[in-house]
Structure 1
Amino acid sequence: MTVATLYEPSRYGRSLDQAAIFGDAALKPRLAAALAAAGGGPVVAPACVVVRIEGACIRDRGITIQRDGASLPLFETYRPADLYAVGMPGPCHAPQVLPDTHAYLLLTSSGTFNWGHWLAEDLPRFRAVSRIAAGRPLCVLMHGFVPAIDRRKIELMRALSERADVQLRLLRPDTAYRAADLYFVSPVSGQPGPKHPDALADLAAAGEALIRRQAKRWWRLIPVRPKRIFVTRRAARGRVPVAWDEICTLLQARGYRPFDPEGAPALEQVAVFAGAEAVVGCMGAAMVNTLFCRPGTPVLHLAPDSFPDPYFLDLAAARGHRYGVCYGTALDPTRPSQTTYVLDPAHLDRALAWLDGGAQRSAA
Structure 2
Amino acid sequence: MSDNFRAKLRKAKNQGVNSLKKFLNLPSQSKLYGPSGLATNWLDYNGYSQSDVAWQQVYPTIKCHWNPQKTTNWGRYTYNFTKNLKPEIPPTGVVIIPNGQVMDIQGYTFTKDDQFLVDVSYWRHRLGYANLPKEKYPTEKIKGTCLSLMTNASSNYCHFLLDSLPRLHLFYQAGYTLDDVDYILLHQPISPNAWSIFRQLGINESKCQWAKKNTTFQADTLIATTHPSLNLHHPRWLVDFMTKKIDLKPCQPQRRLYIPRPTGRRKVANEDELLSILTEYGFEIFKPEEEVNQPQVFHEASIIVASHGAALSNLVFCQPGTKVLELMSNGHLREYFFTLCQVAGLEHHYIIGKTTQPISYVGGLCFHDFIINPTFLTKALYFLTK
Instruction: Compute the TM-score of the two structures, normalised by the length of structure 2.
Output: 0.74
What is aligned with 1:362? none
What is aligned with 1:343? 372
Q: Are residues 1:312 and 2:354 paired?
A: no
Q: Is the 8 A contact 1:204 1:292 kept in 2?
A: yes
Q: Is the 8 A contact 2:89 2:230 kept in 1?
A: no
What is aligned with 1:201? 240
Q: Are residues 1:155 and 2:196 paired?
A: yes
Pairwise mapping of residues 1-364 of structure 1 onto structure 2 (< 5 A)? 1-2=53-54, 4-17=56-69, 20-24=72-76, 27-28=77-78, 31-32=79-80, 35-39=82-86, 43-60=87-104, 61-67=107-113, 71-78=114-121, 79=123, 87-88=131-132, 92=136, 94-100=138-144, 103-130=145-172, 131-133=175-177, 136-144=180-188, 148-149=190-191, 152-161=193-202, 167-192=207-232, 194-207=233-246, 210-212=247-249, 227-234=255-262, 236-265=263-292, 268-334=293-359, 337-357=366-386
Q: Tell me the distance in 2 between the aligned counterparts of 1:14 and 1:50.
A: 26
Q: Is the 8 A contact 2:99 2:111 kept in 1?
A: yes
Q: Secondary structure at the match of 2:155?
A: coil
1:313-349 Cα shifts (integer Å, max 9, x gaps): 1111121211110112221234963222222222111
What is the one-letter code of the residue matched to 1:233?
A: R
Q: Tell me the distance in 2 between the aligned counterparts of 1:260 and 1:314.
A: 24
Q: Is the 8 A contact 2:146 2:185 kept in 1?
A: yes
1:270-316 Cα shifts (integer Å, max 9, x gaps): 11111211111111111111111112211111112222322221111
Cα gap change, 1:85/1:117 in structure 2, threshold over 3 Å: closer, same or farther?
farther
Q: Tell me the distance in 1 between the aligned counterparts of 2:152 and 2:126.
A: 7
**C-alpha displacement at 1:157, in angstroms?**
1.8
CA RMSD of aligned residues (A): 3.1
Instruction: Compute the TM-score of the two structures, normalised by the length of structure 1.
Output: 0.78
Higher relative contact order (CA 8 A, sep 6+): 1
Q: Tell me the distance in 2 between the aligned counterparts of 1:92 and 1:331.
A: 40
- Rg (Cα) greater in structure: 2
What is the one-letter code of the residue matched to 1:16?
A: P
Q: Is the 8 A contact 1:280 1:299 kept in 2?
A: yes
**C-alpha displacement at 1:129, in angstroms?**
4.9
Aligned length: 325
**C-alpha displacement at 1:19, in angstroms?**
6.9
Cα gap change, 1:83/1:74 in structure 2, threshold over 3 Å: closer, same or farther?
closer
Percent identical pairs in the alignment equals: 20
1:160-207 Cα shifts (integer Å, max 9, x gaps): 22x669722211021111101111111123223x21111222212322
Which structure: greater helix fraction?
1
